[in-house]
Chain A
């Protein structure tokens, strides 16, 4: 992602994957992808667009046109914090936040994320922990996030962790639900009945 070599930025039409856009648009909440008028309201509204490699407007255009690799390896989809500002402001009522979610899932499935990229690591660690306990063990998830992305961050945050601990706001225990079997059956049934290839296993790889 970060150390991208210099490449030809403009693609030949034959290199695009138009089915990528169709597939994203077929997901619930993403239907209006093709009606985008490229007005840029989403980019103007987004508090994070100044940090993105492609603005939300460009991501929508690129998704629709089939720039699959560029879209899936972008920072943009992971910087989206799901605040829905773009979604409610979009004059064409495009579910941009839901499209970003669909792109995140796709990127994980395709292995397009850098291995130690903290945002996708957090999503996967959180997913795994909740599947196991039924609840999110905040402290443990954070610890695993730092171990798997950037252990140095743990040192930087140790003082904050201590202050939270002293105020009873942080722990490394894991609260869990009683009926874990019920949750497991629920998730297994989703996996079992899964015919459309959208659902992924706990490790985030396609089943």
Chain B
């Protein structure tokens, strides 16, 4: 099966460390991926707030392109798979596909427009997330076997955010997701049990209404710490941005020092697999990961 990689806009900009680390981890694990050619923005939450049909059409162009690219290489084997690492992309693409299937009128009108633009679409593409792929296709034993530097000493709060598991829970539990926790434990980290793993990070409100956005993110970081975490792991570029980039402002505003590294789960995977920092975009972090926290426990190391 060939995986088509759908980066989305953020992974080429503010969230580029997510793409860098993801591609490095894919390579290290022998997962072969190819970028979807000429992909366009998924529309995120803003498109749906302006025009519903155009939002679906925008997302559907990617689905049609993916089908075309897959069929061009593999013939019509029906196994096309579009992997979207960003939670918003993952949801928007999944939602467009569902609405086209469930609402005849939506499907008809989008297909008409796709056909007019020379984009035949049969609805046979599957939309998946890298977490799903790592857990269910690669498998935890295969990943654990490649660990070079177990993440002993890291106590990770896995933060799934909202749109990865809501409203559609396709590969994990909607109320208490576990895939990221299982993955990070397989890498040697400890994961903390905390209640806010799917609570909203406020999306773009940190930019539009900072009073509201910063408060929500402060609560998340404070609770992660209170439950013993020394690192937060995310699977979404907006969550990562919100949780990491405003920590100095939160410290001033809420009168307590906030200094918690917030990494993409793929960056932590890369560290455990022993990949070089640069390939994981670790230099792009505002709050660096303190690697001294990772104890060489269980590793036989003889100093000379």
Contact = CB atoms under 8 A, between A and B. Distances in A.
B112 A189 contact: yes
Contact of A189 (B40, B46, B117, B198): B117
A135 B49 contact: no
B43 interface: yes
B200 A48 contact: yes
Nearest to B116: A189
B202 A81 contact: yes
B13 A138 contact: yes
Interface string B46-64: 1111111110011001000
Contact-size category for A: 35 or more
Contact of B216 (A47, A85, A182, A200): A47
B77 interface: no
Contacts of A85: 162, 166, 198-200
B51 A182 contact: no
A81 B114 contact: no
B13 A139 contact: yes
A169 B13 contact: yes
A126 interface: yes
A57 interface: no
Contacts of B47: 126-127, 130
A119 B50 contact: no
Contact of B51 (A87, A167, A199): A199
A168 B44 CA distance: 22
B182 interface: no
A118 B208 contact: yes
A118 B46 contact: no
Contacts of B203: 81-83
B39 A177 contact: yes
A119 B38 CA distance: 29
Contacts of B246: 160
A190 interface: yes
A136 B9 contact: yes
B53 A190 contact: yes
B254 interface: no
A20 interface: no
B41 A193 contact: no
Nearest to B196: A47
A87 B95 CA distance: 14
A29 B200 CA distance: 21
Interface string A163-207: 110011111000101110011011101100110001110001000
Contact of B16 (A97, A108, A142, A168): A168
Given A48-B200, A183-B61, A27 B52 contact: yes
A64 interface: no
A169 B16 contact: yes
Given A51-B212, A83-B163, A168-B16, A179 B53 contact: no
- The listed residue with most A CB atoms (<10 A of its CB), out of B41, B106, B166, is B41
A46 B281 CA distance: 34
A82 B163 contact: yes
Interface string A49-85: 0010000000000000000000000000001011111
A62 to B, nearest CB: 19
B294 interface: no
A122 B16 contact: no
B273 to A, nearest CB: 23
A185 B117 CA distance: 6
A179 B38 CA distance: 7
Given A105-B51, A138-B9, A122 B46 contact: yes
A101 B43 CA distance: 13
A190 B167 contact: no
Given A105-B52, A118-B208, A164 B245 contact: yes
B138 interface: no
Give me the 10 closest cross-chain CB pairs, A-B, nearest first: A83-B200, A83-B162, A84-B166, A126-B46, A81-B203, A118-B208, A189-B113, A104-B49, A136-B9, A186-B117
Given A87-B167, A119-B209, A199-B52, 7 more contacts: A82-B48, A105-B49, A108-B50, A123-B46, A142-B207, A199-B54, A200-B51
18 contacts: A28-B102, A82-B48, A88-B166, A97-B167, A122-B46, A126-B44, A157-B207, A164-B245, A167-B285, A182-B61, A182-B119, A183-B58, A185-B118, A187-B54, A187-B57, A189-B112, A189-B113, A190-B53
